[in-house]
C-alpha cells in the first residue's frame, strides 16, 4: 500500500473537530478562522474519497469513514510527537547511545562517579561499557567501536583528542611479609634486586615506559618477572611472593591481606588519566559526556 501524502495540519484539524463536533469551537482551539478549518477538512475528505463528518443544522457528527480514521489519526499524531521529542533530545545529546571504553584500574577511581553523574544528567542515554586497556582503546576509537575512552597515559595519535581528568602518584606494591613493607616510604632504588610484576607493554606502552623510567632514574634496569593484564592479578601475584610492582595510587583499593602498599621516593612522577575521543566526532552524546567528565554543570 502506497503511503498517502497527508498534511499534519489536516489530521490535527480532523482530530480536534472530532473532539469538539463544532466548527467554531474547533477553529478557536486551533487558533485559526473557521473558513481555513473547513478547507482543511474538505481537502482531507477529498483524499479519503468520502465525507468524514455529517453536517446538520447546528450539529456535526462523525461519519462511518470518520470513525474509522480517527484512531489512526490520533496514533499518527502521537507518534509524530514522540518522534519529534526523541529527535530533539538526540540532537541535544539527551538521548541516544554512547559506547565507553575504560581501563580496569579506573573502576577504582573516576569511573563510578563519572558514570553516575552522567546517568543522573542524561538518564535516557543508553551506555555500553567495555573494559579494555589503553592501546586497544585507541584502536577501538579509530575503528568506531567505541565513542569515548577512559584510559591511562593516553597515546598521542593523529585523529584522537584527549583531555586529562586525573593524575595520580605511583606507589610500591609489596608482599606484606617483605622487609621493605615495614617502612612507610620505600626508596625506589631499594627495589633494584626485586623481580617486577607488571602489565605487558602492549596494554599501555606509555604507562609501561613511565614505570621503567622511574626505575632507570633511580639507577637500575628493572628485572621483569611475571605479567598480568589486570591489576587485581598483579596484586595477587605480588601476594604470592612472585615479585613487587609500581602502580597507580588508586590500586590501594584492592584489599588483599598479603599485600602492602607504600609510598615511594623520589615521588616526582605521576600517571595521568584522560578521556579520549575522535577529534572530528560531532555526536552530541559525546559532547555531553565530555562536559560530565570535566565536571561542567
Query: What digits encode the pLDDT tens for the residues 144-158?
Result: 999 999 998 888 889
Q: Predicted confidence band at 287 (pLDDT cuts at 50, 70, 90)?
A: very high
169-271 and 97-164+272-294 share a CATH fold: yes
Q: Which CATH number fits domain 8-92: 1.10.1510.10, 3.30.420.40, 3.30.540.10, 1.10.10.10?
A: 1.10.10.10
CATH topology of domain 169-271: D-Maltodextrin-Binding Protein; domain 2 (3.40.190)
Q: Predicted confidence band at 295 (pLDDT cuts at 50, 70, 90)?
A: confident
Q: Output the CATH code of domain 97-164+272-294.
A: 3.40.190.10
Per-domain residue ranges for the chain? 8-92, 97-164+272-294, 169-271
What the block records as the C-alpha cell of 217 is: 632514574
Q: Is 258 exposed, middle or buried (0-12, 13-18, 19+ CB in 10 A)?
A: middle
Q: Is 292 exposed, middle or buried (0-12, 13-18, 19+ CB in 10 A)?
A: buried
In the predicted structure, residue 1 carries a pLDDT above the cut 60 = no
- Spell out the residues 6+ positions from residue 140 whose beta carbon is closer than 8 angstroms to its own: 101, 130, 132, 146, 149
Amino acid at each position: 500500500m502506497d503511503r498517502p501524502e497527508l498534511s499534519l495540519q489536516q489530521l490535527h484539524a480532523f482530530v480536534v473537530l472530532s473532539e469538539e463536533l463544532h466548527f467554531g469551537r474547533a477553529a478557536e482551539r486551533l487558533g485559526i478562522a473557521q473558513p481555513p478549518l473547513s478547507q482543511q477538512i474538505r481537502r482531507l475528505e477529498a483524499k479519503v474519497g468520502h465525507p468524514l463528518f455529517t453536517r446538520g443544522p447546528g450539529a456535526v457528527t462523525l461519519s462511518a469513514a470518520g470513525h474509522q480514521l480517527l484512531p489512526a489519526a490520533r496514533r499518527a499524531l502521537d507518534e509524530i510527537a514522540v518522534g519529534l521529542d526523541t529527535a530533539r533530545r538526540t540532537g541535544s545529546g539527551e538521548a541516544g547511545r554512547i559506547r565507553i571504553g575504560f581501563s580496569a584500574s579506573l573502576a577504582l577511581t573516576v569511573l563510578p562517579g563519572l558514570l553516575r553523574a552522567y546517568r543522573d544528567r542524561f538518564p535516557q542515554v543508553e551506555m555500553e561499557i567495555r573494559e579494555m586497556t589503553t592501546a586497544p582503546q585507541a584502536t577501538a576509537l579509530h575503528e568506531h567501536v567505541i565513542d569515548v575512552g577512559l584510559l591511562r597515559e593516553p597515546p598521542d595519535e593523529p585523529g584522537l583528542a584527549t583531555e586529562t581528568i586525573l593524575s595520580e602518584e605511583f606507589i610500591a606494591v609489596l608482599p606484606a611479609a617483605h622487609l621493605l613493607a615495614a617502612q612507610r616510604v620505600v626508596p625506589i632504588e631499594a627495589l633494584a634486586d626485586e623481580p617486577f610484576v607488571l602489565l605487558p607493554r602492549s596494554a599501555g606502552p606509555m604507562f609501561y615506559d613511565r614505570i621503567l623510567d622511574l626505575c632507570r632514574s633511580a639507577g637500575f634496569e628493572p628485572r621483569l618477572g611475571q605479567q598480568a593484564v589486570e591489576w587485581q592479578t598483579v596484586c595477587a601475584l605480588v601476594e604470592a611472593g612472585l615479585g613487587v610492582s609500581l602502580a597507580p595510587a588508586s590500586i590501594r583499593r584492592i584489599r588483599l591481606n598479603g599485600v602492602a602498599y607504600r609510598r615511594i621516593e623520589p615521588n616526582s612522577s605521576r600517571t595521568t588519566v584522560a578521556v579520549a575521543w575522535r577529534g572530528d566526532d560531532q555526536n552530541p552524546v559525546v559532547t555531553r559526556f565530555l562536559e560530565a567528565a570535566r565536571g561542567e554543570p
